């Protein structure tokens, strides 16, 4: 099993689904409604204005991630127009950012305005070694992944899971901001958490967990 070592500076941090500028995630101005016509509390963030939410997203990162640190973002950087991407990145102290593309990152994927130059790397999926641990990084949650049976950790976003729901059955975790009080995670913190979790698959009868001779992949 060969995982590429991620070249980093300072401490390594990871987050996902910042959704800078996303109106409908902001409870005070959202147009989203439940079937009963109510504002969906579990699907929105408790802010009255978009500016309040944006300020909290930025402060959550800047209060932890230093200028010489490395930040890994697992997609859905911003919403509400291309300009919000640049505004958001300009507000961050750290500029050493690796990006895994999410479903709302079309402008970045298309490299509008050469925006990709703002990131150290851009991928849809990445198998990587960070601080001696192997990770599979993807915006979307995976049911099974390379090295699952060898303690490889799968980190994802996309699902906006709260603190009590952010873990899969095994070494799998939603690292989105919504599950961490709109703060990033340090890789060291994630490693400590995942070292205590069992090797397990979200799939029933995943043969990668069986003690079989000759199974590859």
Look at domain 4-204 and name its CATH class. Answer: alpha beta
Size (the chain), residues? 217
Q: What residue spans define the domains of the chain?
A: 4-204
For 28: left if phi > 0, alpha if psi spans -120 to 50, otherwise beta; the answer is alpha
pLDDT bucket at 212, cuts 50 / 70 / 90: very low
Percentage above 90 pLDDT, the chain: 85
pLDDT bucket at 204, cuts 50 / 70 / 90: low
CA distance 177 to 174: 9
- The tokens 């500076």 sit on which residue? 9
Structure-block tokens of residue 57? 């997203």
pLDDT bucket at 216, cuts 50 / 70 / 90: very low
The three-state secondary structure class of 168 is coil
For residues 72-100, give the mean pLDDT: 97
What is the per-residue pLDDT across 135-161, written as a single tens digit (0 to 9) for each?
999 999 999 999 999 999 999 999 998
Structure-block tokens of residue 42? 């579990």
For 197: left if phi > 0, alpha if psi spans -120 to 50, otherwise beta; the answer is beta
Instruction: Say if residue 13's pLDDT is above 90.
Output: yes
For the ranges 91-100, 139-148, 157-166, 174-183, the lowest mean pLDDT is seen at 157-166
CA distance 124 to 58: 24
Instruction: Say if residue 18's pLDDT is above 90.
Output: yes
DSSP string computed for 71-131:
EEE-S--B-SSHHHHHHHHHH-S---EEEE--TT-HHHHTTGGGGGGGSSEEESEEEEEET
């Amino acid at each position: 099993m060969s995982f590429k070592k991620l070249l980093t500076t300072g401490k390594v941090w990871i987050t996902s689904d910042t959704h800078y500028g996303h109106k409908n995630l902001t409870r005070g101005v959202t147009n989203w409604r439940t079937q009963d016509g109510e504002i969906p509390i579990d699907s929105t963030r408790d802010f009255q204005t978009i500016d309040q939410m944006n300020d909290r997203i930025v402060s959550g990162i800047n209060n932890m991630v230093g200028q010489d640190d490395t930040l890994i973002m697992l997609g859905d950087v911003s919403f509400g127009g291309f300009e919000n991407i640049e505004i958001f990145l300009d507000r961050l102290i750290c500029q050493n950012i690796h990006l895994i593309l999410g479903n709302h990152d079309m402008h970045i994927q298309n490299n509008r305005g050469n925006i990709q130059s703002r990131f150290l790397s851009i991928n849809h999926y990445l198998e990587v070694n960070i601080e001696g641990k192997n990770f599979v990084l993807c915006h979307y949650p995976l049911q099974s992944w390379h090295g699952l049976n060898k303690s490889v950790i799968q980190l994802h976003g996309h699902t906006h899971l709260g603190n009590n729901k952010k873990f899969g059955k095994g070494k799998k975790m939603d690292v989105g901001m919504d599950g961490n009080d709109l703060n990033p995670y340090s890789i060291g913190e994630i490693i400590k958490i995942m070292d205590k979790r069992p090797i397990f698959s979200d799939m029933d009868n995943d043969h990668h967990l069986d003690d079989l001779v000759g199974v590859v992949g």
